[in-house]
Chain A
Amino acid sequence: MTGARRNPLRFWPQYVAVSPFFLLFAAFGLFPLAFSAWLAFHRWDGISPVTFAGFDQFRFLVADATFRKAVVNTIIIWIMATVPMLFMSLGLASMLNSVKRFRTLYQVILFLPSVTSIVAVVIFFKAIFDNQVGVVNQVLEAIGLSGVQWLNGYWTIKIVLAVIMTWQWVGYNAIIYYAGLQAISGEVYEAAKLDGAGPLRTFWSITVPLLRPVIIFTVVVSTIGGMQTFAEPQVLFGSNASINPNSGGPGQAGLTMVLYFYQQAFNNNNYGYGAAIAYGVFAIVAVFTLINWRITARAEK
């Protein structure tokens, strides 16, 4: 090791071994990233020659009321989906941790929704929440309540989307929490028991603090995922795509940031503006991650 100058080429087999990831990343990660940054300063319909647009696309973005609407929608849907979901996941994980039999079966069942095709899931939920013939409304009417126009209202659309996202990811997060719970040594619980702590006290004073790193992980992952919600509203309101594709439904209540990006770039052939939106989304996700990090870092102290 000492003295001799190391020739990087000596390690070529190792470089070759790790190269697939970097080559794929360069082609499908780095290049699109750089190209869309370049595109955000240009005007391009996807086929004609590209023309320089300066900061026009970003000026449009700042003034775009629809983009603001999409940002607000995304944040609301994300909160509505993530907060109840993580609490439910934690509850499910604790329950899973305390069952003695069929544990693997429960794990499989919990994990199943997250590996189900999202298109199938959304089509299924669309039928359940149908304004007229949906199961939810039929149940409501059967118990004497009036049906709700789920797919029409500003809040109801967001509820439907949040329910879909919760259904799909609650089990996945529960499994992660369960893994975290397994790592907590039984001695800590025994000590708590000896000190006379009840189940609730044990949960808040032992389980939650010790699970903190895992919770932070799920919050960050859910934030990044939730900020990029796309397929759910795209499929949910795909039926009226002929005249106004990917609009996010009535009142554009289901228009998320990424769906708006998709609509502008791919339906309207406005790739320059699409790229500007993509960087707007990036900035917002970065800000949220920063906030998350600051909050959790402070709590750590």
Chain B
Amino acid sequence: MNLSRRNLLLGSGLAALGAGALSACSTSAGGSGGSGGGSTSGLALWYWNGGLSDKVVEASKTQFPKDDIKPNKVGGDFKQKLQTTLTGGSFIPQITGVKGEDMPFFRSVADKFTDLNEFGAKDIAATQLAWKWAEAQTEDGKQLGFPIDIGPTATFYRADILEQAGLTSDPTAVAAATSTWDDFYAFGQELHGKVPASFPVPSLATVFQIIVGQLTNRFVGKDNTFTGGSDEMKQAWDTTVKAQALGINANAGQNLGPALAAGTIAMDLGAAWHALDISDAAPDTSGKWRIANNPVKPTNFGGSFLTIPSATEDKQAAFDVIKWILSTDNQGQAFTDATIFPADPAAWKLPALTGGDEFFGGQKTIDIFGPAGEKVPEQYVAASDSAVSAAYYNELTNVEANGKNPDQAWTDAVAAAKDIAQRQGVK
């Protein structure tokens, strides 16, 4: 699950509109007929590069020779392509991945997918993470997706820079010293005071994303009302912009990679998969990074699902394949192959995960991410959530990049968010 590596769908906007337009003709006729769905033979499996372990997918072919599994790594904007195909009603895959951030949208069209509970998902769910399974559940209890991975969040930090600032660099001690946002900022101020070239906050969006994940309500409530102007949201905003007032924001949203490599960012907040972003951007800092619990409580960014579109004929066969691909052992294999962090807690005990990570100085990162994954709070995410949230991120960028007054930015953000919400049909 790599939110940050979403591929670009360049220049094909108009082509996509054409395709969407053409396929739209069949919407009123009912796209879920299924007769035209999928290839004539075999079991088409759609995923994206890095979404599943290629080795496990390859092995599934020999595991299920009768099903004739046809994996298809779909490039470009995955949501766009899946949506167009489901609307068009033909060439629908028998199994498809759905990214975590797209699940709220696809959950709003639940009749396009199969209720996995009918095929035995319910028994498996008992031993799994309730909050993750809930992400792919409808109000009436239909289970649309089988979790592939999760993105529990933590604080990433440079042990060497913290030591240089005379601060503790031990994960437990760092977590204890930064258990609230006030403590985190105080810790960061001390760090930035001693080592002025380094900052504890990469960008305001980084902090805001985590704090919003810790709230009881996001931008749109379960009853489809706008909650982006609530007191707790204002508080989240105030806490976030405080980093700017304190002068401890690196403001590196536009160039995170170089800032990571240069040591400008001494502390970072992100999901388990963010480790890969850091090691890709700053390979020379290997061994200097550590991980600790992030302030207050962990949240979750991303983490995908495998689903069975309702057009699939042999749903039981498709579910058996999913069950095998996402078995505990294969989730461990996926972590080894592509650092896909297992959604199945049992996989965290496999040797693939319990070993130390060289990039993090040999730290056993599962000791942080495992318990974090257990503690992620359940939160309702509306289909319109990301569209509405855009207003806040735009204004946060205005505050950090252009010095806009934070109170004015809040007022503007709420006003713009309300407009977007209205256009999205939010009450």
- Interface of A with B (CB < 8 Å)? 27-28, 31-32, 35-36, 39, 43-50, 57, 60, 63-66, 118-119, 130-133, 149, 151-154, 230-231, 234-235, 237-245, 247, 249-252, 258, 261-262, 265-271, 273-274
**Cβ of A31: which chain B residues have Cβ within 8 Å of it?**
18, 21-22
B10 touches A231 (CB 8 A): yes
Are B18 and A32 within 8 A (Cβ)?
yes
The answer to whether A247 and B13 have CB atoms under 8 Å apart is no
Give chain B residues whose Cβ lies under 8 Å from the Cβ of A269: 83, 105, 383, 387
Q: How far is the CA of A176 from the CA of B240 in the complex (A)?
A: 53
A269 CA / B20 CA spacing, docked (Å): 11
Q: Which single residue of chain A is at the shortest CB-CB distance from B256? A: A239
Q: Tell me the bound Cα distance from A246 to B383 in angstroms.
A: 18
Within 8 Å by CB of B21, from A36, A131, A243, lies A36
Contact A45–B108 (Cβ < 8 Å): yes
By a CB distance below 8 angstroms, the chain B residues around A252 are: 394
* Chain B residues whose CB sits within 8 angstroms of the CB of A28 once the complex forms: 18
Instruction: Known pairs A47-B109, A49-B28, A268-B424; list 11 more (Cβ under 8 Å).
Output: A27-B18, A35-B24, A46-B83, A47-B112, A118-B11, A234-B10, A250-B397, A251-B402, A266-B13, A270-B423, A273-B423
Contact with A along B377-396 (1 / 0, CB 8 A): 00000011011011001100
User: Which B residues are in CB contact (< 8 Å) with A149?
Assistant: 401
Q: With an 8 A cutoff between CB atoms, is B3 at the interface?
A: yes
A245 to B101, CA, bound (A): 12
* B259: chain A residues within 8 A (beta carbon): 132
Q: Indicate the member of A46, A252, A262 with the most B CB atoms within 10 Å.
A: A46
Contact in complex: A240, B425 (CB < 8 Å)? no
A244 and B394 contact, CB distance less than 8 A: yes
A65–B416 touching, CB < 8 Å: yes
B8 touches A247 (CB 8 A): no
A242 to B205, CA, bound (A): 11
Point out residues on B near A: beta carbons under 8 Å: 3-4, 6, 8-11, 13-14, 16-18, 20-22, 24, 27-28, 77, 80, 83-84, 86-87, 101, 105, 108-109, 112, 205, 209, 251, 253-256, 258-259, 262, 264, 383-384, 386-387, 389-390, 393-394, 397-398, 401-402, 416, 419-420, 422-425
Chain B residue nearest to A151 in the complex (CB)? B254
A-B CB proximity, top 5 nearest = A250-B401, A242-B3, A268-B387, A244-B393, A152-B401
Could you give 10 example pairs across A and B, Cβ below 8 Å? A28-B18, A65-B419, A133-B255, A152-B401, A153-B402, A239-B4, A240-B253, A242-B101, A247-B390, A269-B83
Residues of B within 8 A of A153 (CB): 401-402
Who on chain A is nearest to B24 by CB? A35
- In angstroms, Cα B27 to Cα A28, docked, is 19
Which residues from B are CB-within-8-Å of A57?
A: 423
Looking at B3, B6, B401, which has the most chain A CB atoms within 10 Å of its CB?
Answer: B401
Measured between C-beta atoms, what is the minimum distance from B261 to chain A in Å?
9
Given contacts A132-B262, A244-B393, contact A47 B83 (CB under 8 A): yes
Q: Compute the total of residue contacts between A and B using a CB distance below 8 Å.
A: 153
By the criterion CB–CB under 8 Å, are B28 and A50 in contact? Answer: yes
Contact A230 B13 (CB under 8 A): yes
B254 contacts A251, C-beta separation under 8 Å: no
**Complex: A251 Cα to B397 Cα, angstroms:** 7
Chain B residues positioned under 8 Å from A251 (CB to CB) = 394, 397-398, 401-402
Docked CA distance A84–B134 (Å): 56
Q: In the complex, A151→B253 CA distance in Å?
A: 10
Q: Which residue of A is nearest B6, CB measured?
A: A241
A258, B13: Cβ atoms closer than 8 Å: yes
Contact residue among A44, A119, A240 (Cβ-Cβ distance under 8 Å from B254) = A240
Q: How far is the CB of B384 from chain A (nearest CB, A)?
A: 8
A235 touches B387 (CB 8 A): no
Residue among B209, B251, B401, B420 making CB contact with A243, cutoff 8 Å: B209
Residues of A with C-beta under 8 A to B8: 119, 234-235, 238
B10 touches A119 (CB 8 A): yes
Known A-B contacts A49-B27, A130-B255; A32 and B17 likewise in contact (beta carbons under 8 Å): yes
**Docked CA distance A48–B107 (Å):** 11
CA distance A151 to B252 in the complex (A): 11
A152–B402 CB distance below 8 A: yes
B109 (CB) vs chain A CBs: closest residue: A47
Question: Interface centre among A43, A235, A250, A274, by most B CB within 10 Å?
Answer: A250
Cβ distance B137 to chain A, nearest Cβ, rounded Å: 19
| Complex Cα–Cα for A32 and B6 (A) | 27
Pairwise interchain contact B255-A151, C-beta atoms closer than 8 A = yes
Query: In the bound complex, what is the Cα–Cα distance between A25 and B28 (angstroms)?
Result: 25
Q: Say yes or no: A36 contacts B389, CB within 8 Å.
A: no
B110 to chain A, nearest CB (A): 11
Q: Which residues of B contact A32 (CB under 8 A)?
A: 14, 17-18, 21
Please name all residues of chain A whose beta carbon is closer than 8 Å to the beta carbon of B394 when the two chains form the complex.
244, 247, 251-252
A45 to B87 alpha-carbon distance, docked (Å): 10
* A250/B398 in contact, CB under 8 A: yes
Name the CB-closest residue of B to A49. Answer: B27
Complex-state Cα separation, A49 to B26, whole angstroms:
10
Chain B nearest CB from A33 CB (Å) reads 9
Contacts of A119 in B (CB 8 A): 8, 10
A36 touches B17 (CB 8 A): yes
Query: Chain A residues near B419 (CB, 8 Å)?
Result: 60, 63-66
Q: Across the interface, which residues of A come within 8 angstroms of B209, CB to CB? A: 243
Q: Do residues A46 and B6 form an inter-chain contact, with CB atoms below 8 A?
A: no
What's the Cα separation between A36 and B4 when bound, in Å?
31
Does B254 contact A250, Cβ atoms closer than 8 Å? Answer: yes
Tell me the minimal C-beta distance from B34 to chain A in angstroms. Answer: 15
In Å, the complex CA distance between A246 and B16 comes to 16
